């Protein structure tokens, strides 16, 4: 955090932490006996426009889920990601019904 973009990265990190806390995504609790913690790491990404100019510094705190063992550390999974076949089906349906489509981007979509 000592480079020329340190202030932008620091602001993006604070924004991510504020989003996590404002959406009540964290809860302090005791670790059950025999359980292991899941580590986290920060992802730093520069969002660029079509000319390659940096338009946003984006930071995400992600869990290292690959350290978990199914049936031991978790029992259910949920993936909020749409498959391309679902997207194509919805586009075809909206075209056949002459529906109006709108697209939006949510900064903290995963948290919501």
Give tens-digit pLDDT for 9-25. Answer: 999 999 999 988 888 88
For 61, other C-beta atoms within 10 Å of its C-beta total 15
Q: What is the pLDDT of residue 109?
A: 59
Q: What is the pLDDT of residue 7?
A: 92
Q: Is the pLDDT of residue 98 over 90?
A: yes
User: Which is nearest to 47 in space by CA: 5, 14, 80?
Assistant: 5
Dihedral sign computed on CA atoms, order 6, 108, 65, 56: negative
For 80, other C-beta atoms within 10 Å of its C-beta total 7
Q: What is the mean pLDDT of residues 64-71?
A: 80
The backbone region for 94, taken as left when phi is positive above 0, alpha when psi lies in -120 to 50, beta otherwise, is alpha
Q: Is the pLDDT of residue 92 over 70?
A: yes
């Amino acid at each position: 955090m000592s480079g020329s973009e340190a202030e932008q990265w620091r602001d993006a990190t604070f924004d991510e932490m504020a989003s996590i806390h404002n959406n009540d995504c964290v809860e302090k609790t005791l670790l059950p006996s025999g359980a292991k913690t899941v580590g986290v790491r920060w992802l730093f990404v520069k969002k660029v426009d079509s000319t390659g100019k940096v338009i946003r510094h984006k930071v995400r705190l992600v869990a290292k889920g690959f350290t978990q063992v199914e049936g031991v550390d978790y029992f259910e999974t949920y993936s909020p990601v749409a498959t391309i076949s679902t997207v194509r089906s919805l586009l075809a349906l909206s075209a056949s019904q002459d529906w109006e489509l709108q697209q939006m981007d949510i900064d903290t979509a995963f948290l919501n």
